[in-house]
Chains A and B, each alone.
Chain A
């Protein structure tokens, strides 16, 4: 158990719809990152939030957006869903900057598996 929880665990949407995925980070972690993992691939970085601000973004279009709340929980929103958005979406939290930075460990939730039909 990493202490990172994600919801929903599975969902099915159709092309063009919108989806919101949620993540509660491990206690004391103020940095949350989101990753997309397509079948047979490694996770790909979407973006990171630190104290409610986006402070890093991968190569994903603007229809992928996010939020972080004062309690450090986070949401990932995807608009205008496409078939290629079908993937496992992983949320990861990490210790505050200046903490155990040297380990570089991310703590992942179990993910939300999205299927777009």
Chain B
């Protein structure tokens, strides 16, 4: 079983839509959680960290449910520039700093 599972999509939404992505992780000892964004043929970049109490960053809201081992990302008012692949990422407790577990990513296309 993979450490991090995501629906690969693709998701195709119109500008202005609200989009929600989910992922699950298998290791209950996981400690840190992130969403990364990856544009086509480019490197992943941190979008936001996910905190236990949930957190917002502009149009983006991230939620963590430790009991269900479930992470979500919601963003409002989608823009064309949001088109990318969104990677759910986990770091296990006691794991080295550079060792992250990535989901396969969810592909999003926002159309005019």
| Residue B99 CB within 8 A of the other chain | yes
* Contact (Cβ within 8 A) B97 A31: yes
Q: How far is the CA of A2 from the CA of B42 in the complex (A)?
A: 12
Q: How far is the CA of A55 from the CA of B44 in the complex (A)?
A: 23
* Contact (Cβ within 8 A) A94 B49: no
Total contacting residues, chain B, CB less than 8 A = 23
Residues of B within 8 A of A3 (CB): none
Q: Which of B55-63, B66-74, B102-110 contacts A (4 or more CB under 8 A)?
A: B102-110
* Contact (Cβ within 8 A) B46 A45: no
Closest-by-CB residue of A relative to B87 is A42
Which range holds the interface residue count of chain A?
20 to 34
* Contact (Cβ within 8 A) B100 A45: yes
Q: Which A residues are closer than 8 A to B by beta carbons?
A: 2, 31-33, 35, 40-45, 48, 50, 55-56, 58, 90, 92, 94, 97, 101, 103-106, 108-111
Q: List 25 A-B contacts (CB under 8 A).
A: A33-B99, A35-B102, A40-B104, A42-B102, A42-B103, A42-B105, A43-B44, A43-B87, A43-B100, A45-B100, A45-B101, A48-B97, A48-B98, A48-B99, A50-B96, A55-B96, A56-B95, A56-B98, A58-B99, A90-B43, A94-B97, A103-B46, A105-B46, A105-B49, A109-B43
